[in-house]
Structure 1
């Protein structure tokens, strides 16, 4: 057999194998809601081929804001996504059927930052602050902090919707607002604008489903094996976040849209600090969302946290030794 013919046959065999793989892989759109480092595990899983490893052809789709993501999921455009857990709770209270199956971060992963003249949360009385959108994680966090310090949102402090965190930075510069919750990399830009950290919410002792993997109940019940494989690929992505800084920072440059070394380092450290290694939801965090929702929606008072999350897949993976193999414990 000639070398040329052998190469042709090998190429043909490889082509058949790749085609067979494509035909047997599950195609799925996976949504995410921002450029925050909280989504690092999802992005790394994509870039490292980890979804493909588990037989998944994943398309990553960005929709800014959890409320927009929920709308896309209700419309059937995005079956599975990582988004703010409070949006899933609100949607269910309105008649939806969302279930959180794993956490990305189970604390409010924000820094409340303010202009230099604001020395404390109490100094925000009579001032204007920013959030991305009403009903978002930033909105929940800001309202929680204000109430904890004896201030009534809207009455004592004006809250404006900014759209995104970089728009909030711009609003700080023009003094349209004096404070806002920031995640990385926007916190670096806020600092450059003269803002300083008033509260690190990661150390506030509060649980909250900052971002979680979620899907509609009908999807979860019809594709349980796919749900588990997505979580496996994602979890390996989180492991690579900790063990492969070069890959991680290259991925963050692409998805978080940062290029300056100090920005890349800030986003990377933020992800290391906040992203959960084992993605269990927390009952306490979802109860906190219900407590806040009950102030406006009486239906929340009769609902239990267990109505909104299902940890069975993470439990099954832990029982199988999957996480012990990843993390060595």
Structure 2
């Protein structure tokens, strides 16, 4: 799917039972009454960078300029707005959607935008201006969400989905050569080297995909929600049990899951 927001739309619409998608889209959907719940998170900080064209040297030069995102409501949109708020540029920069990750990268390379917030450099000319992870903002980039009905009917299936995700991250971290081959095959359209994508995985993706309450608080603030939440946003119970039972530790010690 072209973006995290689209994945969550598919989940809410019933096309899929589970989806890893934009955290803000998950929270916003639940707040609006969507019968879904988050059961895992891939990060606890924003693993994205504000990349700019070579002539941009400082943040204030972006005033009146354009930043490329995939879609409104996506992770790239949300983190872009987080960075702009932190830099004091909120409302002073145009945010333009291009439709998908590849399309937004192409738009940046074609100089249709002066900046692009992404996990990887959107083009060979891209210059790193701000690393969002260094801004001290607790944030989950993507949440693994499931429909309430699916969780109720098939909790073991939800558990297996989480176990498979955890095993995948462990495999990336502990079998580097194989991981580089897989990343090279499936991330080729993004550009860059497999080593560059691997660096992102090992730097930002959590071994234990626990959802941190402070990260959810950041999302609630950005979507404009204040006051108590009347519905359940996330459930860490499966993750906590798997960690307690030693499932994650065994993966990194080379033992049987």
The TM-score with structure 2 as length reference comes to 0.91
Asked if 1:160 is matched to 2:68, the reply is no
Equivalent of residue 177 in structure 1, options 106, 113, 120: 113
Instruction: State how far apart, in whole Å, the 2-side matches of 1:311 and 1:83 are.
Output: 17
Name the structure 2 match of 1:324. 249
Q: From the two aligned structures, give the one with the greater helix fraction.
A: 1
Give the deviation of 1:258 after TM superposition. 5.4
Instruction: State how far apart, in whole Å, the 2-side matches of 1:174 and 1:252 are.
Output: 25
Counterpart contact for 1:114–1:196, Cα < 8 Å: yes
* Residues 273/293 of structure 1: CA separation in 2 closer, same or farther (3 Å cut): same
| Cα deviations by residue, 1:118-176 (Å, 9 ceiling, x for unpaired) | 222222111111111111111111111112222232xx111111222332333233332
Give the deviation of 1:303 after TM superposition. 4.1
Give the deviation of 1:196 after TM superposition. 0.6
Equivalent of residue 290 in structure 1, options 198, 203, 220: 220
Within a 5 Å distance, the mapping from 1:224-263 to structure 2 comes to 224-257=155-188, 263=193
Instruction: State how far apart, in whole Å, the 1-side matches of 2:218 and 2:190 are.
Output: 37
Instruction: State how far apart, in whole Å, the 1-side matches of 2:131 and 2:221 are.
Output: 22
- Which runs of no fewer than 5 residues in structure 2 stay unpaired? none
Equivalent of residue 211 in structure 1, options 142, 164, 177: 142
Instruction: State how far apart, in whole Å, the 2-side matches of 1:127 and 1:144 are.
Output: 17
SS in 1 for 2:188: coil
Higher-Rg member (1/2): 1
| Cα deviations by residue, 1:189-239 (Å, 9 ceiling, x for unpaired) | 42x1x2211111122211212012111122112211111122112212211
Counterpart contact for 1:79–1:215, Cα < 8 Å: yes
Equivalent of residue 277 in structure 1, options 191, 197, 207: 207
* Residues 75/272 of structure 1: CA separation in 2 closer, same or farther (3 Å cut): same
Counterpart contact for 2:12–2:35, Cα < 8 Å: no
